[in-house]
Structure 1
Amino acid sequence: MKRCLKTLILALPAVCVAVWMTLALPANAQTTGSDGSLGVRQFPKTALRGMLVVKAPPEVSLNGKPDRLSPGARLRNLNNNFVTPGALVDQELLVNYTRDSMGQIYEVWMLSAEEAKEKRAGLPSRGFNFGFESSAAPQDNGKTPYDQLPRYKQ
């Protein structure tokens, strides 16, 4: 019994310090902005700016063009809490967003007035080329004489 009391007395200062540290953490809370948000958040450098309208999740409109949320997309409100896309249907929102490897919208942050002042690039233009070499070849209308038919490389 004496050993248990001795151990308890030796451990008591460590327990007191741990309790004090736990209670002191809320004093370091984040400051809030004028609209109740958490102030200016830090976004990834790759995040782009756009106007998002959720149509019928996962279908959305981004900058007036149809787009799609990726599976498991994360939408955050002004307080950095997660929001379901269904709660945002038909609302026009100024957002920062990132895309996943498939080109779908993966992370979305709704912006406060202070965050919207930060300059950020918009939707980048994509240089997809869906043409084929065969579409550039001459076409035969069926009435061309045999000696005037196009010659193809063998």
Structure 2
Amino acid sequence: MYRCALSLTLAATCLVAQAQQHRPFPATALRGELQITQFPSVLMNGKPARLAPGARVRNDVNLWVPPAGLTGQKLVVHYTVESSGLIMDVWILNPVEFANKPWPTTPAESATWQFNPGNQTWIKR
């Protein structure tokens, strides 16, 4: 019994510690509000969009989650868009990542701002 309780406590501590760290996002990642309406259809920032075949959604501790299980929830995310315009990668933000501002919400912003991949910050030029 003691070993199980210790293992569960250790696992929970590791998940909390992982959630408090910045994940490395690509410079192409944009910030937005995602709502899955009827998989693979979504609303991104209130506008209709679609998830790409093979799209990956990761929760706030970087674990893969099935997108259909998030239907109806409004989530603040970072996401990438493939060349066809479909959403490919989605990261649900934890509180530390959400506090990392500013972050571009449009491709035009990311084209005019400067990204520092080392500390995952953007500087408006």
Question: Normalised by the size of structure 2, how large is the TM-score?
Answer: 0.69
Shift of the 31–75 alpha-carbon distance from structure 1 to 2, 3 Å rule, reads closer
Q: In the TM superposition, what is the alpha-carbon distance from 1:31 to its structure 2 partner?
A: 7.6
Preserved contact between residue 20 and residue 96 of structure 2 (Cα < 8 Å): no
Shift of the 40–31 alpha-carbon distance from structure 1 to 2, 3 Å rule, reads farther
> Which residue matches 2:104?
121
> Which residue matches 1:78?
60
Q: In the TM superposition, what is the alpha-carbon distance from 1:101 to its structure 2 partner?
A: 1.5
Selected match of 2:26 from 44, 55, 62: 44
Q: What pairs with 1:1-154 in structure 2 (closer than 5 Å)?
A: 32-33=16-17, 37=19, 39-118=21-100, 119-124=102-107
Structure 1 residue ranges without an equivalent (≥5): 1-29, 126-154
- Give the structure with the higher percent strand: 2
SS in 2 for 1:39: coil
Q: In the TM superposition, what is the alpha-carbon distance from 1:38 to its structure 2 partner?
A: 5.0
Preserved contact between residue 70 and residue 106 of structure 1 (Cα < 8 Å): yes
Paired with 1:103 and 1:65, the residues of 2 have a C-alpha distance of 13
Paired with 1:87 and 1:122, the residues of 2 have a C-alpha distance of 25
* Bigger relative CO (Cα 8 Å, ≥ 6 apart): 2
Q: How many residues align?
A: 95
Paired with 1:122 and 1:83, the residues of 2 have a C-alpha distance of 23
Paired with 1:31 and 1:69, the residues of 2 have a C-alpha distance of 27
Q: In the TM superposition, what is the alpha-carbon distance from 1:124 to its structure 2 partner?
A: 3.3
Q: CA RMSD in A?
A: 2.0
Shift of the 31–84 alpha-carbon distance from structure 1 to 2, 3 Å rule, reads closer
Q: In the TM superposition, what is the alpha-carbon distance from 1:32 to its structure 2 partner?
A: 3.5
Identity %: 43
Q: Give the 4+ runs in structure 1 shifted more than 4 A.
A: none
- Structure 1 or 2, whichever has the larger Rg, is 1
Q: Deviations over 1:12-59 (max 9, x none)?
A: xxxxxxxxxxxxxxxxxx6834xx725221111110000000000100
Paired with 2:58 and 2:15, the residues of 1 have a C-alpha distance of 18
